[in-house]
Amino acid sequence: MAYSEKVIDHYENPRNVGSFDKNDPKIATGMVGAPACGDVMKLQLKIDEQGIIEDAKFKTYGCGSAIASSSLVTEWVKGKSIDEAAEIKNTAIAEELALPPVKIHCSILAEDAIKAAIDDYRAKNKE
Amino acid sequence: MNFFELFGLEADYSIDLTSLATTYQALQKTVHPDRFAHSSSQEQMLAVQKSAQINDAYDTLKNPIKRGEYLLQHLGAELPNEQASFQDIEFLMVQMELREMLAQIKFANDIDAALMSAQESLDIQARQLWLEFEQQLAAKSDAANQQAGETLRKLKFYHKLYIELERIEDALFDD
């Protein structure tokens, strides 16, 4: 199966790889895994007082599509409010990267990672 | 006829893989195309279908994870959606650490020792999960079967780690 040019670009030059300190209250961490393929994805968002995502980093162990999906998401969420980020749909990710049907679950994983990170942020900042 | 019945087995998780292989060969002989050279085309087709079913059954039964899933379904358990993502944070943290450990192997001073210790870490954790799985099955309740399905999902991550370890090993000793 051939990867699209965009997937290869993100795979070879992944954007925003790395980690933030997960104990920092401004940092939201989302961890998700896909049992079907054993992929593990960590997405971290740095969120300012206004609820705007200042920065994002990811670490993904998985196939090229999973790495590309998470790399793309880190670019997309920057500058968005958490509510806007929560609106990002896997279908948009899959479309942007031209993922074939068997790789759609990689985009679902990336969408779930955003949601998990936002849940983490809301749990941290409940009061 | 379910896969266990096809192989003359009780629907049970623990099976003897050697006798499974023997039964597989014996079953395939009964449907070998040579035996149907002079049969009607309908009989030939049935033999081909049966042969495919025997292959399916063998592939499922010889693989520990697939056998576990098949057994749970046979027992009426609803398995978690294959596509649904897994969000057990603690478990995933460990997975991340294990992946990082594997990625570090090639930088180790003593690569053989690093490979061995990685293999050992995977073995210990996977063995623990298989133990949990067997205990959950032994409890013979719907709730425990459900948990057993979750345990199998975790084991799939280990399956992937073993593949990754093998890939790293191959890459290291190729050059």
> Confidence band (pLDDT; 50, 70, 90) for B175?
low
Contact yes or no for B99 and A40 at CB 8 A: yes
Residue whose C-alpha is closest to residue A52's, from A120, A118, A109: A118
Residue whose C-alpha is closest to residue B71's, from B116, B157, B136: B136
Separation CA B162–CA B122 (nearest Å):
8
User: Contact, A108 vs A39, CB < 8 A?
Assistant: no
pLDDT on residue A126: 77
CA-based nearest distance A69→chain B, Å: 14
Separation CA A94–CA A103 (nearest Å):
8
Same CATH fold, B89-174 and B3-62?
A: no
Every domain of chain B and the residues it spans: 3-62, 89-174
Contact yes or no for B82 and A108 at CB 8 A: no
CA-based nearest distance A30→chain B, Å: 8
B85 contact residues in A (CB cutoff 8 A)? 32-34, 108-109, 112
User: Contact, A10 vs A48, CB < 8 A?
Assistant: no
- pLDDT digits 0-9 by tens, B132-155: 999 999 999 999 999 999 999 999
Of B82, B96, B163, the CB nearest to A42: B96
Q: Quick check: A127 pLDDT over 60?
A: no
The residues, ordered by sequence, that sit 6+ positions from B146 with a Cβ below 8 Å of its Cβ are B77, B78
Q: Is A63 assigned a catalytic role?
A: no
- pLDDT digits 0-9 by tens, A25-71: 899 999 999 988 889 999 999 999 999 999 999 999 988 999 999 99
Residue whose C-alpha is closest to residue A56's, from A37, A92, A29: A29
- pLDDT digits 0-9 by tens, B66-77: 999 999 999 998
Neighbours of B31 (CB within 10 A): 18
Residue whose C-alpha is closest to residue A73's, from A37, A118, A36, A34: A118
Contact yes or no for A31 and B85 at CB 8 A: no
Tell me the CATH number for domain B89-174: 1.20.1280.20
Contact yes or no for B86 and A35 at CB 8 A: yes
Tell me the CATH number for domain A5-124: 3.90.1010.10
A123 contact residues in B (CB cutoff 8 A)? none
pLDDT on residue B79: 83
What is the mean pLDDT of the segment spanning B14-43?
92
Yes or no: domain B3-62 corresponds to CATH 1.10.287.110: yes
